[in-house]
Amino acid sequence: MTALSHDFAARASILDANDPLGDFPGRFVGSDDPAIVAYLDGNSLGRPTRETAGRMAAFVTEAWGGRLIRGWDEGWFDLPLTLGDRIGASLLGAAAGQTAIGDSTSVLLYKLARGALALRPGRTEIVLDRDNFPTDRYLMESIAEESGMTLRWIDADFSGGVTVQELTEAVSERTALVVLSHVAYRSGFLLDAPAIVDATHDAGALLLLDVCHSVGAVEIELDSWGVDFAAGCTYKYLNGGPGAPAFGYVNAAHLPRFQQPIWGWMGREDPFEMAQGYVPAPGIRRLISASPGIAGMIPIQDTLDLIEEAGMPAIRAKSLALTGFALDLVQQWLAPRGVTISSPLNPARRGGHVTIDHPRFREITTRLWQRGVIPDFRLPHGIRIGMSPLSTTFREALAGVTAIRDELDAN
C-alpha cells in the first residue's frame, strides 16, 4: 500500500493526471457516455475507436461502393498477409511472413493443431490443461477423437495457471503437441512462456500458444521465445469488433513442411489458375483457406495505429498499474466483505485482468450492468475485471470496485 491508499479517489485522480497514455481513452467511442460509469470488460470486447466509426462508413461508400471488385487487386487480396505482418511486428515479436489473419480463432486453432500433429508422426498425446478456454479444450477433444490421439490433462491451480513443473511432469516421448493459453482466461495467470517453450521442446513436442487474452496487453516475443504456433483474436484489446477475424502464427522453421487440413482456393499456390488439385502456396499464405472478411480488418488497423503510437512497453506498464490499483481496492474494501482474489498478486505472473470471487456475484453482476458498471461474470462465482490499457481510466477502476462494494453492502 502507498501513502495515498487511504484516499483512493485522490490516488485515482493523480494516476489519471500522470498517465502517459491519458489522452487515449478519449479516442474511443462511448468514453464520454454518462450512462457507462465503468467499462470493465475490454478484455472481452474492446470499445471501437472514433477513427473506426468514420473509416467504416468510408469503406462502404468509397472502397467497397466505389472500387467494387477492383478492391481485391488494390489491396484486399494481400491484406491478410500485410496486416498479419503488422500484427506480428507490433504485437507478437514476429518477423514478416509468419502471421496471417482472416478466420475465427476456433478455425485457426484447428488448422494449427492439425498441421502441428502432422509434423510429429508416431507421437500419440496432446497435453493441455483443464482450465484452458472451453473452445481450446473442445477442439482438442474433437481432434483427439478424429485422429486417435490421447489427451493428457494438467490439473492446474484454478486461481493460477500451468507451471513449468506441471508441464514437465506431463510431457513425454509420446507428446506431439502442447496447447496452452499465454494468459489464462479466468485467473489472468501469465505463463512463463520461454520456460514453457523449453520444457515442450525438451520433450520433442511442439507448442501451440493461445494469445487471445494477452495480445495488446502483454508484451509477446514469439520468435525469440521459440514458439512453434500461435493464434489470437482481435476483438478484445485490438478493438476489432464482435466476431472480428483472428490471426495465426507459424514459426518460419515449420512453414516449408506445414500443411493445414482446410484446403481452399485462396491458400493455393496460384489461386486464379483454378486448376485441378491443391498445391499449397509458399509461406504463410498456405494458412488461408477462403476469401477473408475484409470489412472486419478495418477496425484493427485503427487500433494498431494507437498501439504503435503508445508502444507496448507503455501499454504493459499501464495494464499493470490498473490491475495493481484494482487489487489494492479489492484487498482494502472487498476482502473484508468475503471476496477472494483468484488472480496472481505477483505482477510478473499477471496478465491484463483480475478475477475476484464471492457467492453473490452472479446476482450482483446483473445489478452492476443496470447501473452502468460493466464487468463480466465467470462461473462458479467470479467477477472478471478487465481493463484495456488504452481505453480504461483509473477513475473507472475506482468506480467499478466502489459499485461492487456498494452492492455487497445492499440487502
pLDDT, residue 247, reads 98
Query: Hey, what's the cell of 387?
Result: 481493463
C-alpha cell at 260: 493445414
In the structure grid, which three cell numbers stand for residue 236, read together? Answer: 478484445
Does 224 have pLDDT greater than 70?
yes
Q: How confident is the model over 129-188, as pLDDT tens digits?
A: 999 999 999 999 999 999 999 999 999 876 778 999 999 999 999 999 999 999 999 999
Whether the per-residue pLDDT at 6 is higher than 70: the answer is no
Which residues are catalytic, by number? Answer: 133, 210, 235-236, 384
% of the chain beyond a pLDDT of 90: 96
* Mean pLDDT of all residues belonging to the chain: 96
pLDDT score recorded for residue 3: 42
Q: How far apart are the first and last CA of the chain?
A: 30
As a whole number of angstroms, the distance between CA 103 and CA 231 comes to: 10
The contacts of residue 214 (CB under 8 Å, 6+ apart) are: 182, 183, 190, 220, 232, 351, 352
Predicted confidence (pLDDT) per residue in 335-351, tens digit:
999 999 999 999 999 99
Left (φ > 0), alpha (ψ -120 to 50) or beta: where does 142 sit? alpha
CA 25 to CA 393: how far, in whole Å? 7
Q: Cα 218 vs. chain centroid, distance in angstroms?
A: 9
Averaged pLDDT, 112-135: 97
The 8 Å CB, 24+ separation contacts for 250-257 are: 250/98, 250/112, 250/115, 250/284, 250/287, 251/98, 251/222, 251/223, 251/226, 251/227, 252/95, 252/97, 252/98, 254/116, 254/119, 254/206, 254/228, 254/229, 255/97, 255/98, 255/283, 255/284, 255/286, 257/119
- Strand, helix or coil for residue 365: helix
Architecture of 77-306 per CATH?
Answer: 3-Layer(aba) Sandwich (3.40)
Delimit the domains of the chain by residue range: 8-49+311-409, 77-306
> Which CATH number is 8-49+311-409 given?
3.90.1150.10
Cell numbers representing residue 269 in the block: 499456390
Q: Which residues contact 208 (CB under 8 A, 6 or more apart)?
A: 109, 112, 113, 116, 177, 178, 179, 180, 228, 229, 230, 231
Average pLDDT estimate for 233-245: 97
Q: What is the mean pLDDT of residues 246-273?
A: 96
Position 75 pLDDT exceeds 60? yes
Beta strand 373-374 pairing with 150-154: unpaired
Torsion of CA 38, 339, 183, 5, to 10 degrees: 60
Give just the sign of the alpha carbon dihedral 280, 107, 164, 99: positive
> Which tens digit of pLDDT belongs to each residue from 34-56?
999 999 999 999 999 999 999 99
Residue 346: all three cell numbers together? 505477483
Percent above pLDDT 70 for the chain: 98
